[in-house]
Amino acid sequence: MSTSNPSSSFSVAAIMGTRPEIIKMAPVVLALRARGITTHVLHTGQHEEMAWPLYEFFGIAPQEVIRLKREVATLPALSSELMSAIGSTLASLKPAVALVHGDTSSAAMGALAASYLQIPVGHVEAGLRSGRISEPFPEEINRSLIGRVSQWHFAPTGQARDNLEKENVPGEVSVVGNTVVDAVLLAARHVRKQRAAGQPVANPDYQWFVDSGLRQLVLVTAHRRENWGGPMVEIAQSVARLLEQHPDAAVIWPVHLNPLVQDVVRSVHAATTAEVQNRWRLTAPLDYAPMVEIMDAAQLLLTDSGGIQEEGLSLHKPLLVMRDVTERPEVITCGAGLLVGTQAERILSAASHVLATGQLPGQPPATVDNPFGDGSSGVQIAAAIARHLPPSSL
């Protein structure tokens, strides 16, 4: 772990360490720095390979880096290690505010460590609730914990605000939209501009689809803990059958690095015909700009991810959410997504309908307004924080 002395008595520590956190916190860090507020990026090390290209893309290289040992592969061990390391770093920095995002172990332990040090906590993407403590796990636990110790709750939607008000959380609740909209629109503009200029981002997976001559692209992501085992088998089998039934379709699936996911997906892929395998591309997890480019080109997104629900909606893509519940019900109620669970037959039926019609089955047309905001969330959060910092810090 490295540390540095803050350049000002008043600063913000932005705590992040997973791919989604970095993507969604980047607009906040950029907006804070644009206001002249000293902002330290504290990388927790929860993700490594996927993290550093994102920091580079957004131009927010961390000043503080934690190197996790991970000698024991359990949630209690990870939480303990994160709590100790984040606490030591915050004690050295002495920021005026600690910002965390979402529902990861990094966010929960960062918020708890800051509150133990009596550093006010701001929670970006606050108020999401599935209503089931075990789904998603442990994220639902982490969200609730962070809500109890935060002073500022930056809720993405009115529904999220209502959840927080029902729980009678302490502090101030503001509806600011979701910073994922800021990030995905920035990235989409970048990849489109580069492509139009004849200097596309390096993206062999997107180029594979272009060269294939196929008409329809499906992007699949699946990694949730509750979908390990049997549900992952069903998801993979639904993809295989979808390709069998739709000869003009291609699938790109960035496979999560967890062996429990890798083994299932690759096994089902290997059991398909050569013709299906030629249209089903398994890749490593993608950097952000290439991932956004593929989302932008896709006719359908199949996912159990929370972030991709928001990103896909922002890019106006039909979403089939392979879960039984979602803490982002706005995706469903606005008509952009459909909960399809993890049974192969149900996924296959809904996906086939989208590829045939371009519409989600049984859903009204998606509303024009994005329930997650207009891309100004980072600016709004920075403005709210600035109102609480002394003038000498600006």
- For residue 123, indicate whether it is catalytic: no
**CA gap 174, 155 in Å, rounded:** 6
| Among candidate residues 5, 327, 312, 265, the one with its CA nearest the CA of residue 140 | 327
CA–CA separation, 106 and 225 (whole Å): 17
Distance between CA 360 and CA 351 in Å, rounded? 8
Residue 121 tokens read as: 């906590």
Whether 310 is a known active-site residue: answer no
Q: Per the residue annotation, which of 21, 103, 234, 311 is the catalytic one?
A: 103
Pull the structure tokens for residue 367. Answer: 């509303």
Which one from 21, 64, 81, 125 is the annotated catalytic residue?
Answer: 125
Match 């796990």 to its residue by tokens.
137
The position carrying tokens 């503080």 is 64
Place of tokens 């190197």: 67
| CA pseudo-torsion sign 260, 262, 267, 269 | positive
In eight-state DSSP terms, residue 202 is -
b/e sequence 260-287, b meaning 16+ C-beta within 10 Å: ebeebbeebbeebeeebeebbbbeeebb
Q: What are the φ and ψ backbone dihedral angles of 43, each rounded to 5 degrees?
A: -90, 120
| Catalytic residue from among 40, 43, 47, 223 | 223
SS3 282: strand
Query: Which residue in 19, 47, 256, 328 is the catalytic one?
Result: 256
User: Are 184 and 225 in contact, with CB atoms under 8 Å apart?
Assistant: no
Locus of tokens 């990030």: 183
Tell me if residue 132 is catalytic: no
Does the annotation count 125 as an active-site position? yes
Q: Check 33, 190, 195, 225 and give the catalytic one.
A: 225
Catalytic status, residue 388: no
Looking at 139, 140, 304, 311, which residue is catalytic? Answer: 139
225: annotated active-site residue: yes
Cβ neighbour number for residue 351 with a 10 Å cutoff? 25
Tell me the three-class secondary structure of 293-319, residue by residue: HHHHHCCEEEECCHHHHHHHHHCCCCE
Active site residues: 103, 125, 139, 223, 225, 256
